[in-house]
Amino acid sequence: MQIVGIDTGGTFTDTVILTADGRVGVGKALTTHGRLMEGVITSLGVASRSLGKSLREILDTTDILSHGTTVGLNALLTGTGAKVGLLVTAGFEATLPMARSNKVHGLPDEDSINALKWRKPELLVPRRRIIGVRERIDVDGNVIVPLDEEQARLSIRQLVARGAEAIGIALMWSPVNGSHERRLAELVAEEAPSLHVTLSSELAPRIGEYERTATVAMNAYVAPLVRDYLTSLDEALRNEGFGGLFLIVTMGGGVRRASSLCDAPVHLLQSGPVGGIMAARQVGARLGHADVLATDVGGTSFDVGLVVGGALPAASRPRIDRHSLAVPAIDLSSIGTGGGSIAYVDPELGVLRVGPQSAGSMPGPACYGRGGAQPTVTDAAVVLGHLDRLGGALTLDRAAARSAIAPLASRLGLEVEAAAEGILRVANAQMADLVRRASVQRGHDPRNFVLYAYGGAAPQHVGRYAAEIGVKAIVIPRLAPEFSAWGAASSDLRTSYEIELPARPLQDFRDGEIEAFGRLEQRARGEFEGLVEAGLSGAIEIKRKIGLKFSRQLHRIDIEVPVSRLGSADIANAEAAFRSRYEQIVGRGSAHAKSAIELAAIVVEARMPIAMPNAAPALTRGVPLPSRYRKAWFLGREWETPVFLWDELGARAEISGPAFIESEQTTAVIHPGQMATIDEDGNLTIAVYSAHTRSLSSRIEEFA
């Protein structure tokens, strides 16, 4: 089986090809914003040529193509989505505008103390396109007020007249009884058949009026654009000879058929970063690392996720750009610090700042030679000699990088090299701070984790930001620059369905919930229909879970229960498992024995494994020899620094810093006092010196 993974990032689009005979092809191209499909095809062509094949030859023999895309996220962040009309229960038209009545909800920590930045999330749907329809269903699913169909038809026509290009429907208690929403969808199909329709009872059947409505609005906002993109890309790939299965990475983990996500694109908003953390879990399992801090440094952002005990923790209340979500999502944290992040002097404080503004892929950093003039993190690395080429053939312009940083250095009263070191120091400190917040604030000690660094720019920075945290070790995977694309290619098919319920005592588990498990399982299995014909095994793994919480608490914990039965003993076991997990999260002794446990949700998860080709390299062993030397700045002075080629290093090769290890797509920076080792799979490991022995800083001073 031949599998292709493609990831579209803010600056680069990456491709990994895993051939049936175990070869690996990689490709990187600049992301073409506004024309994302062009960057995808270009990157795929580069990866094809790395295997000595044409694009058509590769696509002709590809069984599965998995894609992580930012098309929906870009529309959300740039305000270029569809004009949405929203139908809600009469009397609840203010649900979305009111939000949480809290102007700091979802703000970054540094902004939550600045009153000038207090505001609610931007409205995706203006008030004039939010209309209430006469109907009402109660908490038990009983119809209190029948749907007024004539008034509903009039409301739909009003939304069309006001420019609506997509319709969202979010009625009260629709998770319990979605009949009114389904009827409204039928009326929209009659009155405005060309409009995309999103139902909250199908997309996000969760208790929580605001989160459910916000999710519906987001989905409707990005749906027309995402549908057009996926349809056009699928058509372009088919025209080039692709006849296999087209899959998309979801932010809940795993991949799903692209056709099933055209109506529910909210699931792919953060699909790119999730591809990377899924890859980190797989590599961690192979290397025996159950607890991993996964860090991704790209051109635009820095993303952090956790692998805890081999599992990917889910976000309890996921948000994107301060908009709340009511769909499953892997817990990720992000800041706008990447290779393209722009450095500047704060006009109020006169101090150096980095990001979140980015030069992107066009024009990009000044050193790209594409017209960029603002100083970026990548320009600083080029000035210091840490980087001199990108993507194999793209030579970086050091003079242009110096010219971009010179005005900044002048304002700070520093030499250009000192200013460049300052830019990297600030960027690395911001990255280290996010890693600490993503781990410590969630109750995890970084010293118990191995830190994985991937993305095109992570190998340049990890030697610094990881050293400040105190992790067990640093691993730079062999395919670090294309790691999210590799994660897309190596992910299993996964889907999940859930229904949140009005909370009731766990012991009151009803036959209706058992029946609901069956309905959800049937929907999950339906997504995998026809995949055996596409070459997959057809083996479907089903997990049933119940969402439990203590009485009067908001957040639930999902506990797995047997698929075939759910007797009193199974419920008792679930209760014990819930208490144990609760204490792991909150603290020992927090799960009081007499606290009542309530049932809040039922969940079905389905997985179909995809057999990956064996792509492990056959490494030789020998004494590593540098391919060349170049001058580079470390610790305030210039060093004659050896440059090693990653592909020429044998297993167990050891490299002492300062040194550079280059691949076609990235450069790993080994700082003075650090030691790097290549493992049997070609991954790069950097030793981290514990504060209990000798700190890295003392070793550097000793070395210098």
pLDDT tens-digit map of 560-604: 998 777 777 888 898 899 998 888 777 778 887 788 899 988 999
**Pairing verdict, β 654-656 and 675-678:** antiparallel
Choose the weakest-confidence range: 184-193, 337-346, 459-468, 591-600: 591-600
State mean pLDDT over 204-218.
91
Rounded Cα–Cα distance for residues 226 and 245 (Å) = 18
Rounded Cα–Cα distance for residues 277 and 484 (Å) = 8
Higher-pLDDT residue of 230, 109: 230
State mean pLDDT over 212-232.
94
Residue 71, pLDDT > 60, answer yes
CB 359 within 8 A of CB 340: yes
CB 498 within 8 A of CB 566: no
pLDDT of residue 197: 97
Rounded Cα–Cα distance for residues 298 and 531 (Å) = 34
For 450, the token pair is 């191995």
Higher-pLDDT residue of 249, 300: 249
Q: Residue 235 contacts by C-beta under 8 Å, 6 or more apart in sequence?
A: none
For 31, the token pair is 């992301």
Residue 105, pLDDT > 60, answer no
pLDDT of residue 119: 64
Residue 693, pLDDT > 50, answer no
- For 504-536, how does the pLDDT look when each residue is reduced to its tens digit (9 = 90+)? 888 777 666 778 888 899 988 888 877 766 667
State mean pLDDT over 305-315.
88
Rounded Cα–Cα distance for residues 60 and 523 (Å) = 32
Residue 474, pLDDT > 80, answer yes
Rounded Cα–Cα distance for residues 352 and 418 (Å) = 12
Cα maximum dimension of the chain: 82
pLDDT of residue 171: 97
Cβ neighbourhood burial of 357 (10 Å; 0-12, 13-18, 19+): middle
**Pairing verdict, β 389-390 and 394-395:** antiparallel
State mean pLDDT over 76-96.
91
Residue with structure tokens 């170049």?
Answer: 630
Residue 163 amino acid letter: G
Q: Residue 408 contacts by C-beta under 8 Å, 6 or more apart in sequence?
A: 343, 344, 345, 352, 375, 419, 423
pLDDT band at 690, cuts 50/70/90?
very low
Residue 452, pLDDT > 80, answer yes
- For 642-653, how does the pLDDT look when each residue is reduced to its tens digit (9 = 90+)? 999 988 888 888
State mean pLDDT over 412-433.
94
Rounded Cα–Cα distance for residues 256 and 359 (Å) = 32
Q: Residue 23 contacts by C-beta under 8 Å, 6 or more apart in sequence?
A: 17, 51, 615
- For 374-394, how does the pLDDT look when each residue is reduced to its tens digit (9 = 90+)? 999 999 999 999 988 875 557
CB 461 within 8 A of CB 431: yes
- For 35-59, how does the pLDDT look when each residue is reduced to its tens digit (9 = 90+)? 888 989 999 999 999 999 999 999 9
For 380, the token pair is 């600083």
Rounded Cα–Cα distance for residues 625 and 281 (Å) = 32
Containing 676, the helix (H) or strand (E) segment is strand 675-678
pLDDT band at 181, cuts 50/70/90?
very high
Residue 204, pLDDT > 50, answer yes
Residue 166 φ/ψ, nearest 5 degrees: -155, 150
pLDDT band at 697, cuts 50/70/90?
very low
Q: What percent of the chain has pLDDT over 90?
A: 51
Rounded Cα–Cα distance for residues 542 and 492 (Å) = 13
In this structure, what DSSP letter does residue 127 have?
G
- For 112-161, how does the pLDDT look when each residue is reduced to its tens digit (9 = 90+)? 555 555 567 788 999 999 999 999 999 989 999 999 999 999 999 999 99
Q: Residue 358 contacts by C-beta under 8 Å, 6 or more apart in sequence?
A: 10, 11, 299, 300, 336, 338, 340, 341, 342, 376
